[in-house]
Amino acid sequence: MTDSIIREQIAYYDEWFHRLGRYDRGEEINGLWFNEVAVVKKALYQLGTVENILELACGTGIWTQELLKIGKKITALDASQEVIEINRAKVGDANVYYRQVDLFSWEPDVEYDLVFFSFWLSHVPPKLLDSFLEKVYRSVRAGGQVFIIDSRFDPISTAKDHVLENDSNIQITRKLNDCNVNNIVATNNR
């Protein structure tokens, strides 16, 4: 991926999560979003202290920061070195270890107490879903846990100027903040 595409994706996801710009749906709807985020955070914190966490598709650190509140050691994986560097600068904790990997070719070499990923599962193509979930299974130790967050297929979960397509399509269009429209693989794994 080119640096400009990566930067645009970073802006897209951060603005989407924080409900900024095109994703700002007003106080009431944004409030619903942030209330749901609070419920998810509470569920995460209720896991208690976790020795060894694996975060897949760590992104810019939004959830890495939350994982640090419960985790002693976090291994954060992402495909983009630029995104990893943003995460590292934002989080700034020596207990987070980063690796740049392609999650579709990555093979787990350690078992973790908790495997976590957010807003990633919907990007796993159906033909790779079984093998990806098998990798998740192999990376969590016996008695460990898997914590998955993903968004609902709902018009208010996307930008005001973006129309959701048929949720059975594997390839959808995504309009970025610079108004460029790209085709992406996105799976609605409800």
For residues 56-68, average pLDDT: 96
Task: Tell me the residue type at 134.
Answer: E
Strand 140-149, strand 181-185: pairing = unpaired
**Integer CA distances (angstroms), 63 to 90, 136, 148, in order:** 11, 18, 11
Work out the pLDDT band at 56, boundaries 50, 70, 90: very high
Q: Coil, helix or strand for 16?
A: helix
Q: What is the pLDDT of residue 125?
A: 87
Tens-place pLDDT, residues 80-89: 999 999 999 9
For residues 107-114, average pLDDT: 97
For residues 125-135, average pLDDT: 93
Q: What is the pLDDT of residue 69?
A: 98
Q: Coil, helix or strand for 111?
A: coil
Q: Coil, helix or strand for 65?
A: helix
Distance CA 115, CA 146 (A): 5
Residue 171 has pLDDT above 60, yes or no: no
Q: Which two tokens stand for residue 125?
A: 């193509």
Look at 159 and 185; give whichever has higher pLDDT: 159
Distance CA 127, CA 165 (A): 20
Q: What is the pLDDT of residue 59?
A: 94
Work out the pLDDT band at 168, boundaries 50, 70, 90: low
Q: What is the pLDDT of residue 190?
A: 39
